[in-house]
C-alpha cells in the first residue's frame, strides 16, 4: 500500500504541468466541444455529424446545467495567468471571459425565461429544419425523422420556461402578440403533406430505392400528423390560453421584476461598452439631428424647400419607386448585388470563399417580420449564405432602398463579414461563431456608407434611401431607450420615427414592435457603426498618406466579431505598426 502511494506521488511530481497557453487551449477545446454537444443542430451546421439525430435540451434543468457549466469554465479561466499569454491569446482570453460572464449574468437576471423575441423564435427556426440539415442519404432522412420525433420534448422545454416566467411576472408585453399567434397557426396544417417540414419527403435523391422512399414517406406522415403538428398547436394554445392573458399593457422591459438591472445588462451586452440608457438616448438625439440636416439638403435640391413631409409623401406614393411583382423586386435586388460584387476588390484585400444567394422571406413570417435578413451559411461550405427579402406588401418596399439594404444584409455587410469569420482558421473554434451585435450590426451599417465610395447611390433618391436607413438606426437609440427607460408609449415611438424618416408606416410599426419585443438589440447597430467610423477617421488622421483602406478593413474584419474595446485595441496596434 505504501509503495503504491509512493509510486503515484513520484508520477505526480514528474508529470509536466501545463503552461498557461496550453491550459487556455484545452479550455477552448472543451468549451467548443460543450457548445457542439449542447446545440446539436449547430453542430450539424459546423459539419459535425455526431449529433445529427438530436435536438438541444431546452427546459429549466438544462438552463441551470448550462449556467453551472459556464461557472466551471470561468473558474478554469481564472486559474490561468492572463499576463503570461501572447497578445492574441490575451484577446481570446478577454472574449471568452466576456461571453462566460455575460451568460452567467443573463441567467441570473432571468433572461432564459424570455425565449421569445419576435425575430426568429424557436418554432420558426424549427420549421426550417429541412433547409438546414443534410438530406443526401437514407441515414440523413432517418436522422431528420428522429429530430421531428424529438420536437415534443424540445417544445416542452421552452413552454416550461415561459410558464415559469408567467409565475414570476417575467414576460413580454401584450401588444407584441397582436399578430404573433398567426405565425404559429401558419404551421398548423390539416394534412402532413401540406407542412413545410414535409417537403424533403416530396423529392428524394435519385439513388433511393422505392422501398426506402415508401418507408420514409409513411413514417413522415405519421410523425408529422401525430407529433409535430400537434406540438405547434400546443404552443399556440399555451400562448392564447395561458401566456397572453397574463401579459401586461405596459411595454417597457423595466416594468418587469428586476427590469431596470436587466435592461442595463441588455444595453451593455448589445453595445459591448459600459454606457447608460441616458447616454445612448443623448447620442441618438444628436445623430438624428445630424442626419436630418443631410436629408434636408436632398429635399431642397429636389425642389421641395423645407417640406420634408411633402418629399417623403412623394417617395411613399409615386409608382416609379415600387415593384409591381415579387419577381421584379427580387430581380432588382439581384442586379444591385452583382453590381456591388464587381466593386468589392476596390475596398477589400480579403474576400470570403463562401457564396450567397437571395430568396423571399417565407409567407408565414413575412407579414410580421422586417424588410430583409441574412442567414449564415455552413462553415463546411455545404450551404451558402442567404439574403432573405420581404416581398409581402410591395407598397412598403421602395426600390430606392435596395442599394443600402443589400449593402447591409449581403455584401459588404453581413455575408462578407460573417463568411470571412467562419473561414478564419487561426482563431479558436468558438470565436469563428461568436457574434457581438455592436460589431456585426455596426459593421453592416458601416457597409451601407461604403456604398457611397463605390457609387452605389447614383440618384438622390438612392442616397435619401441610405440616409433614411442610417436615420432608422439612429432613431433606434432614441426609441429603444425612450420606451424601456423613459416611459414612452408605443404611439409616441411610432410618431417620432414617422416624423424623422421616410420609412413606410408598416415598417415603422413592425420595427417599434421589434424594439418592444427585443429590448436593447437594436442599439448595437448605430453604436458599433459610430465606433468603426471613429477608428477609421483616427487612422486616416494619424497615418495620412500611409493609410490604406483595404488594409484597414482587413484589420477590422480578420479577427472576427469582437467587442468594440478589442476592435479599438487592434486598430491602435495596426496604426503603430504602420508608423502612425
Residue 32 has what pLDDT?
A: 96
Q: Which residue has the cell 435519385?
A: 206
What is the per-residue pLDDT for 382?
85
Q: Is 200 helix (H, G, I), strand (E, B) or coil?
A: helix
Spatial contact of 133 and 41, defined as CB atoms under 8 Å apart = yes
Which pLDDT belongs to residue 432?
Answer: 82
C-beta separation of 263 from 277 below 8 A: yes
Question: For residue 356, what is the enclosing H or E element?
Answer: strand 356-360
pTM of the model: 0.86
For the beta carbon of residue 366, count every other beta carbon within 10 angstroms.
17
Per-residue pLDDT of the chain (580 residues; tens, 9 = 90+): 445 555 444 444 444 689 999 999 999 999 999 999 999 999 998 889 999 999 999 999 999 999 999 999 999 999 999 999 998 899 899 999 999 999 999 999 999 999 999 977 999 999 999 998 999 999 999 999 999 999 999 999 999 999 999 999 999 999 999 889 998 999 999 999 999 999 999 999 999 999 999 999 999 999 999 999 999 999 999 999 999 999 999 999 999 999 999 999 999 999 999 999 999 999 999 999 999 999 999 999 999 999 999 999 999 899 999 999 999 999 999 999 999 999 999 999 999 999 999 999 988 778 867 789 999 998 788 889 999 999 999 998 999 999 999 999 999 999 999 999 999 988 899 998 888 999 999 999 999 999 999 999 999 999 999 999 999 999 999 999 999 999 999 999 999 998 888 777 887 898 899 999 999 999 999 999 999 999 999 999 999 999 999 999 999 999 999 999 999 999 999 999 998 6
Instruction: Kindly report the backbone phi and psi dihedral angles of residue 91, in degrees, each rounded to the nearest multiple of 5, phi listed first.
Output: -65, -45
Q: For the chain, which residues make up each domain, given as ranges?
A: 21-261, 263-531
pLDDT at 8: 45
DSSP per-residue letters across 394-450: GGG--GGGHHHHHHHHTTTTHHHHHHHHHT-TTS-GGGGS---HHHHHHHHHHHHHH
- Backbone angles phi and psi of 385, in degrees to 5: -70, 160
Q: How far apart are CA 47 and CA 406, in angstroms?
A: 28
Q: Could you tell me if 183 and 118 are in contact, meaning their C-beta atoms sit under 8 angstroms apart?
A: no
**Grid cell of 274 as nine digits:** 459600459
pLDDT value for 364: 78
Helix (H), strand (E) at residue 374: strand 372-375
The C-alpha cell 443589400 sits at 406
What count of Cα atoms within 13 Å lies in the side-chain half-sphere of residue 62? 18
Please, are residues 108 and 265 in contact by the beta-carbon 8 Å criterion?
Answer: no
Look at residue 11 in the predicted model and tell me its pLDDT. 43
Contact partners, residue 17, CB within 8 Å, separation at least 6: none
* Closest to 468 measured CA to CA, from 259, 288, 242: 288
Query: Which residues face 373 on adjacent strands?
Result: 388
Question: How much is the pLDDT for 10?
Answer: 45
Residue 317: how many CA atoms within 13 Å on its side-chain side? 6
The confidence score (pLDDT) of residue 505 equals 82
| Rounded distance between C-alpha atoms, residue 465 and residue 417, angstroms | 23
Q: Which H/E stretch holds residue 357? A: strand 356-360
C-alpha 399/C-alpha 397 separation (Å) is 6
For residue 445, CA distances in Å to 238, 411, 412 come to 38, 11, 10
What gap in Å lies between CA 543 and CA 477, rounded to an integer? Answer: 32
pLDDT at residue 239, rounded to an integer: 98
Burial of 530 (0-12, 13-18, 19+ CB in 10 A): buried
How far apart, in whole angstroms, are the C-alpha atoms of residue 210 and residue 468? 56
Using DSSP's 3-state secondary structure scheme, residue 118 falls into coil
CA distance 507 to 526: 18
Task: Give the integer Cα–Cα distance in Å for 375 and 373.
Answer: 7
Amino acid at each position: 500500500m505504501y509503495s503504491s502511494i509512493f509510486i503515484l506521488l513520484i508520477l505526480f511530481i514528474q508529470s509536466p504541468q501545463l503552461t498557461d497557453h496550453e491550459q487556455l487551449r484545452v479550455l477552448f477545446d472543451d468549451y467548443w466541444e460543450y457548445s457542439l454537444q449542447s446545440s446539436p443542430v449547430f453542430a450539424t451546421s459546423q459539419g459535425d455529424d455526431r449529433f445529427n439525430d438530436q435536438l438541444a435540451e431546452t427546459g429549466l434543468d438544462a438552463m441551470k446545467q448550462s449556467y453551472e457549466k459556464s461557472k466551471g469554465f470561468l473558474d478554469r479561466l481564472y486559474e490561468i495567468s492572463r499576463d503570461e499569454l501572447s497578445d492574441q491569446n490575451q484577446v481570446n482570453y478577454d472574449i471568452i471571459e466576456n461571453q462566460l460572464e455575460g451568460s452567467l449574468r443573463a441567467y441570473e437576471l432571468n433572461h432564459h425565461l424570455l425565449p421569445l423575441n419576435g425575430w426568429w423564435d424557436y418554432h420558426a427556426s424549427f420549421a426550417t429544419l429541412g433547409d438546414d440539415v443534410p438530406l443526401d442519404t437514407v441515414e440523413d432522412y432517418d436522422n431528420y425523422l428522429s429530430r421531428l420525433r424529438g420536437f415534443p420534448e424540445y417544445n416542452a422545454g421552452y413552454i416550461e420556461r415561459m410558464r415559469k416566467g408567467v409565475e414570476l411576472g417575467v414576460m413580454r408585453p401584450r401588444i407584441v402578440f397582436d399578430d404573433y399567434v398567426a405565425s404559429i397557426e401558419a404551421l398548423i396544417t390539416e394534412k402532413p403533406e401540406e407542412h413545410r417540414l414535409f417537403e424533403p419527403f416530396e423529392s428524394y435523391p435519385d439513388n433511393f430505392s422505392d422501398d426506402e422512399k415508401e418507408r420514409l414517406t409513411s413514417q413522415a406522415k405519421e410523425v408529422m400528423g401525430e407529433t409535430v403538428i400537434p406540438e405547434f398547436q400546443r404552443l399556440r394554445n399555451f400562448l392564447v390560453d395561458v401566456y397572453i392573458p397574463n401579459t401586461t399593457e405596459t411595454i417597457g422591459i423595466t416594468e418587469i421584476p428586476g427590469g431596470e438591472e436587466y435592461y442595463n445588462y441588455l444595453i451593455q451586452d448589445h453595445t459591448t461598452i459600459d454606457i447608460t440608457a441616458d447616454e445612448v438616448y443623448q447620442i441618438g438625439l444628436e445623430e438624428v439631428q445630424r442626419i436630418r440636416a443631410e436629408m434636408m439638403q436632398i429635399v431642397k435640391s429636389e425642389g421641395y424647400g423645407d417640406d420634408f413631409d411633402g418629399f417623403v409623401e412623394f417617395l411613399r406614393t409615386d409608382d416609379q419607386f415600387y415593384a409591381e411583382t415579387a419577381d421584379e423586386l427580387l430581380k432588382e435586388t439581384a442586379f444591385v448585388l452583382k453590381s456591388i460584387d464587381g466593386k468589392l476588390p476596390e475596398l477589400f484585400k480579403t474576400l470570403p470563399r463562401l457564396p450567397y444567394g437571395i430568396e423571399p422571406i417565407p409567407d408565414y413570417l413575412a407579414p410580421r417580420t422586417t424588410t430583409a435578413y441574412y442567414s449564415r451559411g455552413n462553415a463546411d461550405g455545404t450551404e451558402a449564405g442567404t439574403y432573405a427579402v420581404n416581398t409581402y406588401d410591395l407598397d412598403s418596399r421602395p426600390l430606392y432602398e435596395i442599394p443600402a439594404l443589400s449593402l447591409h444584409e449581403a455584401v459588404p455587410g453581413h455575408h462578407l463579414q460573417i463568411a470571412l469569420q467562419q473561414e478564419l482558421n487561426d482563431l479558436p473554434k468558438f470565436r469563428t461563431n461568436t457574434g457581438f451585435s455592436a460589431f456585426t450590426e455596426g459593421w453592416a451599417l458601416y457597409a451601407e456608407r461604403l456604398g457611397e465610395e463605390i457609387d452605389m447611390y447614383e440618384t438622390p433618391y438612392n442616397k435619401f434611401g441610405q440616409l433614411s436607413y442610417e436615420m432608422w438606426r439612429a432613431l433606434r437609440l432614441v426609441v429603444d431607450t425612450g420606451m424601456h427607460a423613459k416611459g414612452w408609449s408605443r404611439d409616441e415611438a411610432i410618431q417620432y420615427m414617422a416624423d424623422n424618416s421616410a420609412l413606410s408606416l408598416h415598417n415603422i410599426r413592425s420595427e417599434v414592435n421589434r424594439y418592444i419585443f427585443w429590448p436593447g438589440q437594436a442599439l448595437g447597430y448605430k453604436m458599433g457603426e459610430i465606433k468603426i467610423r471613429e477608428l477609421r477617421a483616427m487612422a486616416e488622421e494619424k497615418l495620412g498618406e500611409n493609410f490604406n483602406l483595404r488594409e484597414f478593413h482587413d484589420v477590422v474584419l480578420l479577427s472576427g466579431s469582437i467587442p468594440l474595446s478589442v476592435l479599438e485595441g487592434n486598430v491602435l496596434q495596426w496604426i503603430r505598426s504602420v508608423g502612425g
